[in-house]
Structure 1
Amino acid sequence: MKIQQAHPHPRFNAAGTKVVFTSDWTGYCQVYEAEGPEFRGCRRRSRRAREPTEGEQHVANETCRVAAALAAAWIGGPATGGAEAGAGMTFGPGDLCLLVGERASLVERRAADLFAAEVRRRTALDVPVGSVARAKHALVAGTAASGDEASAFAEQRPEVAKLGPDGYCLATTPDANGRLHVVGQSPSGVVAGLGKLLRLARYAERAVVVPAVTLTDTPQLPVRGIYFATHFGNFYHVAPLDEVDRVIEDFALWGGNSLTVWFDMHHFSGFDDPAAQAHVGRLKHFGETARGLGMQFGLAFLANEAYNTSPEPLRAKWLPGWPHYHVELCPSKPEGLALTGKWQAQILSAFPNVDFIWTWPYDQGGCACDQCKPWGANGFLRASEQLARLYHERFPEGKVWLSTWLFDSLSGAQGEYAGLLRYLREQKPSWLGGILGGTHGDALPKVLDERPDPERYPLTCFPEISMYQMSPWGGCGANPLPGFCGRLMDNLRERTPFVRGRIQGGWPYSEGIYEDLNKFLWSQFFWSPGRPTEDMLAEYASYYLCPEATADAVRLFHLLEETHPRTNWRVRNLAQAEEAWALAEALDARLPTWAKASWRWRLLYVRAAIDHVLKSNRHVTAEARSALQPLCDELVRLYHAQNTFIRPAPLPTPKDTANLALDHPVRVSSTHPECADSERMLTNGILAQDDPQDFWVHDPSKEKTAWVVVDLGESKAIKEVRLQFRGLYGQFWFVPSSLAFEVSDDGERFQQVMTSQAVPKEGSEYSPDLRTCEIGMKGRYLRLTLGASQHVAPPYPGALELTEVEVYGP
């Protein structure tokens, strides 16, 4: 494969007749000179020539820019061919139609309609679609089998016969009959080819510039998928069907060929629940959309999944720290395994076409009983075997992918990878089609390279592009992660060769539209793993925003990643927020109308605006709340998130100035080394619902109990103390067994006020409400002693935590 690595620096000469550029496609960086395009407005005109209109000049300048870019970028082309660029054409009203063959498949016809609709949306130019040419020039789109014209083109061009699966050939220099061609090896190749041409073209009012390019391209990886997490009221769960369809269509135009969805049982009381039936219908619609674009469609299953009405005696055991719905079933109980199978069979039977399934271990899922542990190498495999059998009874040719998500990372579940590899070596399961490697970080576990028979059990990946370093997911708008994605891509590139026994592609994990750029990056990586990330960013910016502002947009993407890590309204680093905001404002003024109004740009713009507000005002001020509210409201509208947690966090609660402890000094007996200086958070007025990362934790390696002393500055009457305890996974965690309160005027001699064991029970349902303790004494110093922790199991056994200490007078 040859990829342009040198920076092109394309330049036209003064007459506009030649373009000079750099390229390293021969293996050495060289300077090249090529004849420039014969476009309107590109060359110098004689004084007698008519001056072009503003619209014509814009299109002409764009055409010249495109020609330069095409000449400089991807000169070597992909593995199956190459790229050539030359003169292109500007098409106005009545100049161009789209010709599909008389034998074209529904996929090819759908791709043609999408191409025409996108041109119309951007330019108001109508490009008729049909089997009969209705303009001087016609773009022929299809496979060689779809019609006579595509077939004749394929016979004349030997490179078409060399295309690999889903590859395409673009030849957009009009032939003697005025034909331009997009010919695919498959209907999916036609979709991808038309998508590429859309991204190469340039747009103006009632005009489209089609560059004259000859390009053959074939995807290198066979699995180019996306996973829609269709649950929890996220975008895929609640948005209008046509909006989700548009996301699927765009993904297919990017070259994607696989969609996975999940029927999350725990939302429903049973398969006959009206809400469950409605959701099945929704997922079937997405499957029809995907298959109508030439994509495969698959279902994800938790191996021991259950409805929220599952029988309690059959439920699985879980351990603290396990993400669990607490309704899953134990497969070591025969009735539990049978009931899980019955429910899974109902779901499978509801879908007419399921090309593959996933069997998933955790998040949610799992069982920690003695008969099932370690889950990933024991109970999970037995439950997965049953699921695979049920699936193959209905879809004999389908493929089963086994996920290793969270393997060896939860308490009480070590040895899962080792057990899985042993199972593959000894059992050689025929039901298993491949491994879906789970990773929350920027590297795929190396242990997966040690699996036996890697060609029989190929490896795919599951890039986490939705939740990384952010809570709530998408709560502040777009989350561009080019650096994070790039590091994982580099890790995967090291596992060459890709297809034969190594990486066959994957499915990024998507919770909504806010990670659109990340989706695009992975679709392009799976198509061509060697392609530089910066090239992908530039293509996205040029197509979805503005060609003239590509460099600024790419810079904005990187800046937004630098300010990305956040929890609610706490942002780790806002140093680049002002530069990002300045770029966003400048870009907003330059974008064409259609791009400026698009949800893709609005999510980027809102994100920059939110960071600007947080940098300027901090999140706890009245000014910040006033500025943030309309931005949050826009995100809720874009996500259709009126009734879901995948939305902006609630605006912070104003600090209560009646709190006598607010921002006053605190001393503690110890602080955990991983949370150094966290004691200052005890009196900063920030509650858990505003920032769940704002808490103090003591050091259990030094002491079983702990004390906290708050200095009120002077002796004051204390009516009551209010405490907020720590919550995780919807439950109370790290709770003391008792409380004791003392007051002092000098900080040395304390008088005991009260003791209490009225504390939350560890593991009970969490509530952020503050617990009130009556004091009724006067003093400058308040000392709170926390009894031994109720939390005795990993992680952090014996730890004590508090979120906030508030003190109030009469």
Structure 2
Amino acid sequence: MKLGNAIFFVGLWIAVTPIGYAQGRGLSYIDLSAGGICNFVTDKQQLLRTQSVLLEEIAKRSGIDLPMMSSGELGKKPGIILTLESDTKRLPQVVQEAVGEMEHIGAEGYRLIALKKYQIVVVMGKDARGLLFGVGKLLRKATITPDSMLFPDHFSLATTPKNPIRGHQLGYRPKNNAYDAFSVAQFDQYIRELALFGVNCIELVPPRTDDDPTHPIMKLPPAQMMVELSRICDSYGLDVSMWYPNVGKDYDSPAGIQSELAEREEVFAALPRLDALFIPGGDPGDLEVDTLFRWVGQVAEVLRNYHPDSKIWISPQAFKQTDHWFDVFFEQANRRHEWFGGVVFGPWVSMPIAEIRNRLSPEIPIRRYPDITHNISCQYPVPDFDLTWALTLGRESINPRPREFKHIHNLFESYAIGGITYSEGTNDDVNKFVWSDQDWDSSTPVVETLRDYARLFLDPLLVEPFVLAIFALEDNLRGSPLTNGGMIRTLDKWRYLEQHSPAGKASNPRFQMGLIRAYFDAYTYRRLTWETYLEQQAWDVLRGAAPETVDNALTEAIALLKKGASQPVCADWRQRCLELADSLYESIGTQLTVERHHGYEERGNFIDHIDMPLNDAPWLLPQLEALLSTPSVAEKVKQLAGILQRTDPGPGGIYDNFSEAGSWQRVEKGKGWFADPGNLQSASHGFNIKVKGPSERAAEPKAWMKQATVLYDHPLVIHYGELDTHANYSVKIAYTGRFKSNISLHADGLPVHGYQPVSGSEVYEFDVPKAATSDGKVTFQWRCKPGERGLQVAELWLTRKERN
């Protein structure tokens, strides 16, 4: 056994071997390095690919080719026993006795036990899948290093998955940030690794979606890869589901229906395995409910010809969900159509899952379709997400959120029978394994999942440092970087691992995904502090300008604001991000830019925004430069005053920017994130950032880019107090945001304005009814029309007018 490299850990230099490492931590183990595998499975078809998975994964990590061994060799040298519960009587007596004392296991469950005295590790599956999942647990708990494989000799576990559906959607389409670049072999390995964490279903997408039909970086045409993915899943004994949206134009005429059915028949006939079909009610698609269910019944007839046991699941997703829409949906769902598998709760379902459960017949199951891939503008946005991160990391970045997704998973688990997550690529890799582990057993501490993840995929000798480094990336996104301040400490954690772990030197993609985020976050934090300082300096110069010095002030302010681009900070960190982005593209096809890596805007291309301005320079500079060329000094002074006083509500007035914490205190929060992470019954922050190109923003104030937001028909309520009881007031509102809704406003129940169509970038002013403010306080309540997606308020000026 070779002596390992000296590593620095917790302040001490220790020369370790894998055995020395285990002993140093107070662990005892079975050394399987010189052992073998003994297979007691009678029906070899039930082995699936499990035996080869175990051998191959050990060999990849250790270089050891474990031999097969006979039962007579057990006890003479270390061994791994593979067996099914049905083959128990074939096992040695001591093994029978040991497993007989363990808890009962159900479908897909397994027992995993180390028999120290005999130097044996037993993996017993309830069935073929259970054996695969048990092997996965063995690999997750073993310390496998070059020339060594150690397993804790005290280990004993009997476990059955809590949820029968545990899976992820792996869509092969151009919109994804990595999957569309995968080869068949890469998909096979990724699906295998998910199965090692208990995944039993993979969801595919059809060749035609709401996306481009193909992409130059694809290794195979979509129709061919779809078949390969079905075959891969079947080889591991995993279920196959397919997300099949209704993106056609005609589901009413006989010709239109026949064309759509012919396409589906071709898809169904080509797939070697298809266990379930998921047809969303919308996003994309916009069929009326009766048409939707009639159409799905026609699809079911075609599906039955090729996959007779397959069921169809439907989600109540739609961009215009009214009470009537839901009434018809539940009437149809509760009819118990022969083909009906159940209801899917996913993004853009406006009804809380608890209410859906109450309105469905008890025997109809719910399957979750959680969005684990996006940061904002999604089902479960990052709470307290700062505008800085919205401008740079954007909607879809590398985004480990282990604590948040454990909480979200467990909060709604009781309403469903598991889930298949919505994913757009490898950016949510950590989230997939966390969600899978929680679907298996939601009592599992998330730190244990990360330890398994680090041990299996990163470095088994630096598990705890890796776990803390992953947690730190989640912590980086807590609130404003200016007050969080943890980004540099997070980078220190990852740079230490970059220097001391083989994962850092071997261009391990999972390591590099964490490392690039650490460099990116720290670089962004340093830019933010620098650009914030420059903007404050510019404001100070402008505020101090006199008529005779206005030109000098404008010139100096312009120069200060331009320094953000002309005098950048931490150029070496920026360069490291670019290098890592290239490396990730070469290894797993990660598309972190549009031009260089063939990505899509808002689909993981956050490196395109690495230099996105973080202050108000894009809004200020055009105005200041225009002022400088204005010939009239008086006009310059007047217009400059307008810029300086843009947010001034006047004497006795109140101004609020709802992207700021101080203003946010006035907002009625509703249930809040811990009870309502999907914000169906809560106010939250929304974002609307108009990007012109890489690192280019539209010339509008930062205050317009983050808003107080509510979804659907939930009201936005904001309270004001300490008003002048004798004065009249007017209210000016910046209705900016992504939703183009019809909005009404009431003050203490009195109308301020009726349904007002807003475009998402306008400012309106209205008189406030005197009766609403006569008691010295007022409550504003906004609503959008029933069936619309929501509303946003970015800024508000409450201006005191004349007194009575």
> Which TM-score band applies after superposition, normalised by the shorter structure?
0.5 to 0.7
* Rounded Cα–Cα distance in structure 1 between residues aligned with 2:96 and 2:330: 49
* Rounded Cα–Cα distance in structure 2 between residues aligned with 1:703 and 1:383: 55
Q: Unaligned regions of 5+ residues in structure 2, if any? A: 4-13, 377-381, 383-389, 532-563, 592-596, 628-639, 650-654, 662-688, 708-715, 717-727, 742-757, 760-784, 796-804
* Rounded Cα–Cα distance in structure 1 between residues aligned with 2:273 and 2:789: 43
Alignment partner of 1:164 is 2:112: no
The offset of 1:192, in angstroms, is: 0.9
1:69-102 residue CA offsets vs partner (Å, 9 max, x unmatched): xxxxxxxxxxxxxxxxxx532244xx12223357
Conserved? CA contact 1:98–1:133, under 8 Å: no
Match of 1:418 among 304, 317, 327: 327
Conserved? CA contact 2:316–2:349, under 8 Å: no
Question: Residue 604 of structure 1 corresponds to which residue in structure 2?
Answer: 514
Question: Residue 339 of structure 2 corresponds to which residue in structure 1?
Answer: 431
Residue 473 and residue 217 in structure 1: after superposition, are their counterparts in 2 closer, same or farther (change >3 A)? farther
Question: Residue 156 of structure 2 corresponds to which residue in structure 1?
Answer: 214
1:132-163 residue CA offsets vs partner (Å, 9 max, x unmatched): 99994332224256799559888654368942
* Equivalent position SS for 1:601: helix
* Rounded Cα–Cα distance in structure 1 between residues aligned with 2:167 and 2:373: 15
1:373-421 residue CA offsets vs partner (Å, 9 max, x unmatched): xxxx33322322222232223222112221234x5xx346554333322
Question: Residue 79 of structure 2 corresponds to which residue in structure 1?
Answer: 138
Question: Residue 119 of structure 1 corresponds to which residue in structure 2?
Answer: 58
1:543-568 residue CA offsets vs partner (Å, 9 max, x unmatched): 433456444433333332233489xx
Alignment partner of 1:448 is 2:356: yes
Alignment partner of 1:530 is 2:443: yes
396-405 or 658-667, which moves further after superposition? 658-667
* Rounded Cα–Cα distance in structure 2 between residues aligned with 1:798 and 1:63: 55
Show the 5 A alignment for 1:215-230.
215-230=157-172
The offset of 1:647, in angstroms, is: 3.6
The offset of 1:218, in angstroms, is: 1.6
* Rounded Cα–Cα distance in structure 2 between residues aligned with 1:578 and 1:305: 46
Residue identity in the other structure for 1:639: G
Conserved? CA contact 2:144–2:460, under 8 Å: no
The offset of 1:428, in angstroms, is: 3.0
Question: Residue 310 of structure 2 corresponds to which residue in structure 1?
Answer: 398
Residue 355 and residue 670 in structure 1: after superposition, are their counterparts in 2 closer, same or farther (change >3 A)? farther
The offset of 1:606, in angstroms, is: 1.0
Alignment partner of 1:248 is 2:187: no
Alignment partner of 1:60 is 2:19: yes
Conserved? CA contact 2:177–2:425, under 8 Å: yes
* Equivalent position SS for 1:507: strand
* Rounded Cα–Cα distance in structure 2 between residues aligned with 1:107 and 1:481: 36
The offset of 1:571, in angstroms, is: 7.3
Question: Residue 686 of structure 2 corresponds to which residue in structure 1?
Answer: none
* Equivalent position SS for 1:359: strand
Conserved? CA contact 2:657–2:703, under 8 Å: no
Conserved? CA contact 2:31–2:78, under 8 Å: no
Residue 208 and residue 474 in structure 1: after superposition, are their counterparts in 2 closer, same or farther (change >3 A)? farther
Residue 549 and residue 277 in structure 1: after superposition, are their counterparts in 2 closer, same or farther (change >3 A)? closer
Show the 5 A alignment for 1:142-541.
142-144=83-85, 157-158=99-100, 162-173=104-115, 179-212=120-153, 213-231=155-173, 232-266=175-209, 278-302=221-245, 304-306=246-248, 315=249, 329=250, 331-367=251-287, 372=288, 377-405=289-317, 407=318, 410-411=319-320, 413=322, 415-425=324-334, 427-439=335-347, 445-455=353-363, 457-469=364-376, 478-493=398-413, 495=414, 502-541=415-454
Question: Residue 661 of structure 1 corresponds to which residue in structure 2?
Answer: 624
* Equivalent position SS for 1:510: coil
Residue 130 and residue 291 in structure 1: after superposition, are their counterparts in 2 closer, same or farther (change >3 A)? farther
The offset of 1:527, in angstroms, is: 0.9
* Rounded Cα–Cα distance in structure 1 between residues aligned with 2:308 and 2:482: 50
Show the 5 A alignment for 1:71-90.
88-90=29-31
What is the CA RMSD across the aligned residues, in angstroms?
5.0
Residue 390 and residue 218 in structure 1: after superposition, are their counterparts in 2 closer, same or farther (change >3 A)? same
* Rounded Cα–Cα distance in structure 1 between residues aligned with 2:351 and 2:473: 22
Residue 474 and residue 676 in structure 1: after superposition, are their counterparts in 2 closer, same or farther (change >3 A)? closer
Question: Residue 76 of structure 1 corresponds to which residue in structure 2?
Answer: none
Conserved? CA contact 2:62–2:144, under 8 Å: yes
| Structure possessing the higher relative contact order (Cα contacts under 8 Å, 6 or more residues apart) | 2
Conserved? CA contact 1:443–1:487, under 8 Å: no
* Equivalent position SS for 2:448: helix
Conserved? CA contact 1:225–1:508, under 8 Å: yes
Question: Residue 628 of structure 1 corresponds to which residue in structure 2?
Answer: 574
**TM-score for both structures, normalised by structure 2:** 0.64
Conserved? CA contact 2:41–2:83, under 8 Å: no
472-481 or 519-528, which moves further after superposition? 472-481
Residue 396 and residue 103 in structure 1: after superposition, are their counterparts in 2 closer, same or farther (change >3 A)? same
1:592-619 residue CA offsets vs partner (Å, 9 max, x unmatched): 4488632111111110110011111248
Residue identity in the other structure for 1:534: V
* Equivalent position SS for 2:149: strand
* Rounded Cα–Cα distance in structure 1 between residues aligned with 2:460 and 2:351: 33
1:616-653 residue CA offsets vs partner (Å, 9 max, x unmatched): 12485444676435414533514342222134332447
The offset of 1:458, in angstroms, is: 0.9
* Rounded Cα–Cα distance in structure 1 between residues aligned with 2:394 and 2:91: 44
1:633-679 residue CA offsets vs partner (Å, 9 max, x unmatched): 5335143422221343324478789845369736659999776799x
The offset of 1:106, in angstroms, is: 5.4
The offset of 1:364, in angstroms, is: 1.6
1:405-459 residue CA offsets vs partner (Å, 9 max, x unmatched): 4x5xx3465543333222234x33222111111147999522122133222x111
Residue 446 and residue 572 in structure 1: after superposition, are their counterparts in 2 closer, same or farther (change >3 A)? farther
Residue 101 and residue 588 in structure 1: after superposition, are their counterparts in 2 closer, same or farther (change >3 A)? same
Conserved? CA contact 1:544–1:595, under 8 Å: no
* Rounded Cα–Cα distance in structure 2 between residues aligned with 1:346 and 1:685: 41
Question: Residue 644 of structure 1 corresponds to which residue in structure 2?
Answer: 599
* Equivalent position SS for 2:49: helix
* Rounded Cα–Cα distance in structure 2 between residues aligned with 1:296 and 1:421: 27
Residue 150 and residue 588 in structure 1: after superposition, are their counterparts in 2 closer, same or farther (change >3 A)? farther
Percentage identity across aligned positions? 16
* Rounded Cα–Cα distance in structure 2 between residues aligned with 1:416 and 1:670: 45
Match of 1:557 among 460, 466, 470: 470
Residue identity in the other structure for 2:47: E
Matched positions, count: 607
643-652 or 187-196, which moves further after superposition? 643-652
* Equivalent position SS for 1:225: strand
Conserved? CA contact 1:462–1:508, under 8 Å: yes
Show the 5 A alignment for 1:708-787.
none
* Rounded Cα–Cα distance in structure 2 between residues aligned with 1:556 and 1:513: 18
Give the structure with the larger helix fraction. 2
* Rounded Cα–Cα distance in structure 2 between residues aligned with 1:163 and 1:571: 47
1:453-505 residue CA offsets vs partner (Å, 9 max, x unmatched): 222x1112112110133879898863111232122123124x2xxxxxx4211
Conserved? CA contact 1:441–1:464, under 8 Å: no
* Equivalent position SS for 1:661: helix
The offset of 1:506, in angstroms, is: 0.8
* Rounded Cα–Cα distance in structure 2 between residues aligned with 1:605 and 1:537: 16
The offset of 1:522, in angstroms, is: 1.1
